[in-house]
Amino acid sequence: MLHTESNYSRLTQFLPVVGWLKTYTRQEFNSDVFAGVITAILLVPQGIAYAILAGLPPQLGLYASILPPVLYALFGTSRTLSVGPVSIAAIMIASALNAPEISALGRPVQSALILSAESGIIMLVMAMLRMGGLVNFISHPVLTGFTSGAALLIIGSQLPQLFGLKTPSCGIDTACYSQYLSGIVPAALAIGLVAIGLLLFFGKPLVLILKKIGMEVYLITAISKCGPLLTIIAATVAVDYLDLHVATVGNVPSGFPELTFDFLPLEKWYALLPFSAFIALIAYVESVAIAKVTANFRGEKISPNQELIGLGIANISAAVSGGMPVAGGFSRTMVNFSAGARTQMAMLIAAAILALAVIFFSPWFENIPKAALAGIILVAIVPLVKLKNIAHTWRYDRGDGIAELATLLGVLVYGIEEGITLGIILTVMSHLRKTSQPHIAVVGRIPGTSHYRNIKRHSVETWPHLLLLRIDESITFANINYIEEFINVEIRRQPGLKHIVLIFTSISDIDTTALEMLENLNHSLQSANITLHISEAKGPVLDKLEKTDFIKQLQPGKTFFHTEDAVRELCGLN
């Protein structure tokens, strides 16, 4: 029985879907159906829009909304995360496809599928290496700076679409620009602006109005989330009826996505590797961040490593079914959650609706005006630009503010991957700088006790030939220079010094660099006739030191169990 139980728990660990299916209720199903329909209504325009944002045919976004969420539903640990095409990944895909070394290889659709497959494989490898904790190493300021920068890039790419313009290639030729701007298509601009107006109206204003007339909450949610779909239908109908000449989505192949294995050229895999790595990293970090937010609301638990597996398999399935790379989308997950989704059943239903839409409604997508899609993207993206946040971060923590600003500027000026790298380097440097100055206390004995406390805060006994130092952090390459310098200053301050006792209560590790520097320090102290001792070292630290001959080198210096023992012996109090 116990054996079966452990097999079962291992099964739910690898296949979290089993966990909630076991106790799934009729009531949960009703909630999930409602949320699934709402999310599907959002997924259709988002899928098309984000594929176009990535510079890909629309079906790559639609296909990415079918198989990947199904597989995430089986393997992922979040019950409400909506996996599918997302704007930030879309701009990263666009950046990869536009890189000279990638566009030279041709066939952008194939490149996009390789990005899906490769980022999925990278996530699985990270899961095998138990690198789920990697999410720790991308700090919030870097993530925020990156998101703002990517959102600005997206806005820059969508404004021409809104104006009906082709993407410019004028460079710094200002004469060209004035000619370029004369190409504005008024009909497109009108559609785009009306679309933005409609979408904004479907936000707060409509909700307030419906609340006032006393409509039930679930109906309000349903109606307000139909904004993007209704906007697109209205725009498409308008183009058709008014016979407007604006750019439209164009041919979308009908029917189910066929399983494809069109991603074999190894040369491309190699060229796309850095881009895939960054897409995997950001897709993972963003997804886990969103999954955690909704999980926290309901006291559910996210397993970072299992998330790597779920998202990895989802991305590989995207590649196989002809879809672009996927991640958990922030706004869509919040819609799914607030529409009442209880489990991933909601996303299974949404995926089924998407599949039906692709089979039966594909021809209708053809005439969607691009300006309306640009409107949808802009309304979704503008709130992600959080420039004020930089000032806020800057005031709270200078180092973090610099990292956030540098990431934003790096993304805008050098590119997405370069910006993220710069941000990570700056965060790590600022972190190392901070940890390179550990707290060190000169301590003395509280009279009549065997307690040792900071001489700056307590009135304590000290001895002119004895220096007691408590180092409040593990000793590593990052702080050993500071510690050495601190000790040297104290030695100059106390001319009659004969013994230094390092109190190791807070030290849980000494790395190789620190050990070698301590050996050098001990050596030069010995030539100055000062003996170094250690007290209160923890077991593992002593074990580690005993693998070396440091303790032998200390002689006549000793390792004491208690600081009190050291003081008694070195002051001859015994």
The binder of a second copy chosen from 181, 217, 237, 432 (CB under 8 A): 432
Phi, psi of 442 (to 5 degrees): -80, 125
Vertex 535 angle, CA 534 and 537, to 5°: 95
Residue 248: strand pairing partners: 369
Q: How far is the CB of 445 from a second copy (least distance, A)?
A: 17
Q: Name the one range near a second copy by CB under 8 A: 75-83, 132-140, 222-230, 463-471.
A: 132-140
What is the Cα gyration radius of the chain?
Answer: 31
Q: Name the one range near a second copy by CB under 8 A: 54-62, 66-74, 139-147, 185-193.
A: 139-147
The terminus-to-terminus CA distance of the chain in angstroms comes to 62
Residue 475: strand pairing partners: 510
The binder of a second copy chosen from 435, 446, 565, 569 (CB under 8 A): 435
Place of tokens 């209205």: 234
Helix then strand count (H, E) for the chain reads 27, 8
Q: Name the one range near a second copy by CB under 8 A: 4-12, 79-87, 328-336, 432-440.
A: 432-440
CB nearer to a second copy: pick between 65 and 479 = 479
Q: With contact defined as beta carbons under 8 Å apart, do 97 and 103 qualify?
A: yes
CB nearer to a second copy: pick between 195 and 471 = 471
* Dihedral sign (CA 536, 537, 538, 539): negative
Q: Name the one range near a second copy by CB under 8 A: 136-144, 180-188, 192-200, 368-376.
A: 136-144
**What CA–CA distance (Å, rounded) separates 68 from 542?**
51
Helix axes 140-162, 416-435, angle to 10 degrees: 160
Q: Name the one range near a second copy by CB under 8 A: 67-75, 133-141, 204-212, 566-574.
A: 133-141
Q: With contact defined as beta carbons under 8 Å apart, do 496 and 527 qualify?
A: no
**Residues counted in the chain:** 574
The binder of a second copy chosen from 106, 171, 299, 448 (CB under 8 A): 299
The binder of a second copy chosen from 7, 547, 556, 574 (CB under 8 A): 547
3-state helix, strand, coil in the chain (%, to 5): 65, 5, 30
Phi, psi of 433 (to 5 degrees): -60, -45
**What CA–CA distance (Å, rounded) separates 385 from 406?**
15
List the interface residues with a second copy, window 471-500 (CB under 8 A): 472-474, 476-482, 488
List the interface residues with a second copy, window 303-362 (CB under 8 A): 304
Considering only the C-alpha atoms of the chain, give the largest distance between any 2 of them, rounded to a whole number of Å: 104
CB nearer to a second copy: pick between 78 and 248 = 78
Q: How far is the CB of 508 from a second copy (least distance, A)?
A: 7
Structure tokens at 456: 């700056």
List the interface residues with a second copy, window 197-236 (CB under 8 A): none
Asked whether position 140 contacts a second copy by CB under 8 A, the answer is yes
Q: With contact defined as beta carbons under 8 Å apart, do 262 and 68 qualify?
A: no
State the pairing for strand pair 531-535/559-560: parallel
CB nearer to a second copy: pick between 111 and 563 = 563
Asked whether position 107 contacts a second copy by CB under 8 A, the answer is no
Q: How far is the CB of 391 from a second copy (least distance, A)?
A: 12
Asked whether position 110 contacts a second copy by CB under 8 A, the answer is no
SS3 134: helix
Asked whether position 434 contacts a second copy by CB under 8 A, the answer is yes
Asked whether position 512 contacts a second copy by CB under 8 A, the answer is yes
* Dihedral sign (CA 335, 338, 341, 343): positive
Q: What does each C-alpha distance from 258 to 44, 67, 93, 250, 416 come to in angstroms?
A: 19, 11, 22, 20, 32
CB nearer to a second copy: pick between 256 and 396 = 396
Structure tokens at 104: 């030279």
Asked whether position 252 contacts a second copy by CB under 8 A, the answer is no
Number of Cβ atoms within 10 Å of the Cβ of 101: 9
Q: Name the one range near a second copy by CB under 8 A: 2-10, 18-26, 325-333, 504-512.
A: 504-512
**What CA–CA distance (Å, rounded) separates 443 from 462?**
8
Q: Name the one range near a second copy by CB under 8 A: 129-137, 166-174, 258-266, 339-347.
A: 129-137
For the residues of 77-93, what is the DSSP string, one character each?
Answer: S-SS--EE--HHHHHHH
Phi, psi of 248 (to 5 degrees): -120, 175
Q: Name the one range near a second copy by CB under 8 A: 276-284, 351-359, 372-380, 433-441.
A: 433-441
CB nearer to a second copy: pick between 137 and 269 = 137
- Of 279, 276, 293, which Cα lies nearest the Cα of 140? 293
The binder of a second copy chosen from 6, 296, 449, 555 (CB under 8 A): 296
Binding mask 266-295 for a second copy (x = CB under 8 A): --------------------------xx--
The binder of a second copy chosen from 297, 360, 361, 561 (CB under 8 A): 297
List the interface residues with a second copy, window 364-423 (CB under 8 A): 393, 395-397, 399-400, 404
Asked whether position 130 contacts a second copy by CB under 8 A, the answer is no
Determine the size of the site formed for a second copy (CB under 8 A): 61
Asked whether position 508 contacts a second copy by CB under 8 A, the answer is yes
Q: How far is CA 519 from the centre of its chain?
A: 41
The binder of a second copy chosen from 524, 542, 561, 562 (CB under 8 A): 524
Number of Cβ atoms within 10 Å of the Cβ of 328: 29
Asked whether position 513 contacts a second copy by CB under 8 A, the answer is yes
**What CA–CA distance (Å, rounded) separates 182 from 119?**
41
Binding mask 141-180 for a second copy (x = CB under 8 A): x---------------------------------------
CB nearer to a second copy: pick between 107 and 301 = 301
Residues at the site binding a second copy, with contacts judged by CB under 8 A: 133, 135-141, 292-293, 296-297, 299, 301, 304, 393, 395-397, 399-400, 404, 427-429, 431-436, 439, 472-474, 476-482, 488, 506, 508-509, 511-513, 515-517, 520-521, 523-524, 527-528, 544, 547-548
